[in-house]
Amino acid sequence: MVWCADPGFHGMALWGRPGEPEIRHLCRFLDVEVRREAVPHASLVDLRRLESVDPLAFVAFVDHLQARAPLYRELVTCQARVRPNGLPDALVAGFDKLVRPSHPVAVHASLGEALAWLGRGDRSGLAEELDAIVAAAMGELNCGQRLRRVLVPPLSEVTLDSAARQLGLSTRTLQRRLRDEGTSFQAEHAAAQVRAAQAMLRDPALTLTTIALEVGASSLANFSTMFRRRTGEAPSAWRRRVRGAAEAGARGAPAGARDAGAGAIEDRGGGRRA
């Protein structure tokens, strides 16, 4: 899977036992990171579910990256990787000796740690979405994950009855399955409201009232209360903090990346900074 959360944040995920044809197919999509209109960006590579590494697939992937090394040096500011277990982890650890990236690279045990290192710790909703997409591709989607794909704006139109119909279940069956998974429709709906609000709060053109209506809150006051209860911050404070972090990130790699000592970054003008 190859994804782009915003122009400054790209990523990919590998799982199972990908062979050479699959890796070559994947590499065609990876070129979105180095297209002409691309801007400098952070990268996240999720390898948690990688079970083995085919030698021919490994060579094809290295060849692809080496051929585009000048573009990656120009456009990738830093990269976080979530490591697999066992032998694949050892192979991934030796990967940089062949590719020799110029940007800082850090390897983490969890997706949350990787996001935090990249200065994207507020993107928990993104982590959930990525996990759901991979789970669906692997045929492991549970009821709660299926429901989250239904819970999209305008959320005022998504009720228990309408969600059950879209999932092909009765309301009672949906409620029972969610209860067995330790959640409920009300909890999932509220979490979806927060995820949608966080995405819209990144757009400075949208007012808080507009966002409240879009996520299905009955009033701005109710929206603010719900948002604060689940995040610990008022919507306006969350917006200011995230916009400040984004502006700081646009000026270069996060502080954690600079401190990692993983190497110099080449800026677009050809200079180097530690």
Assign residue 13 the CATH number of its domain: 3.40.50.261
115 and 180 part of one domain:
no
pLDDT score, position 252: 57
11 and 82 part of one domain:
yes
Asked, for residue 136, whether it belongs to a domain, the answer is: no
Asked, for residue 125, whether it belongs to a domain, the answer is: yes
pLDDT score, position 258: 42
C-alpha count within 13 angstroms, C-beta hemisphere, residue 21: 0
Asked, for residue 101, whether it belongs to a domain, the answer is: yes
pLDDT score, position 251: 62
Q: What are the structure tokens assigned to 180, written together?
A: 């067995």
148 and 39 part of one domain:
no
Work out how many domains the chain is built from and give that number.
2
Task: Provide φ and ψ at 147, rounded to 5°.
Answer: -65, -40
In terms of phi and psi (left: phi > 0; alpha: psi -120 to 50; beta: otherwise), the region of 246 is alpha
Helix (H) or strand (E) holding 48: strand 41-50
17 and 113 part of one domain:
yes
Q: What is the mean pLDDT of each run of 10 residues along the chain (274 residues)?
A: 92 90 92 91 91 85 90 93 75 70 86 90 80 79 86 88 87 92 93 90 92 91 92 92 74 49 37 35
Does the bond joining 84 to the residue before it have cis omega, within 30 degrees of 0? no
Asked, for residue 266, whether it belongs to a domain, the answer is: no
119 and 35 part of one domain:
yes
Asked, for residue 267, whether it belongs to a domain, the answer is: no
End-to-end CA gap in the chain? 32
pTM above 0.75, yes or no: no
20 and 91 part of one domain:
yes
**CATH at 147:** 1.10.10.60
123 and 156 part of one domain:
no
Domain range for 18: 2-129
174 and 199 part of one domain:
yes
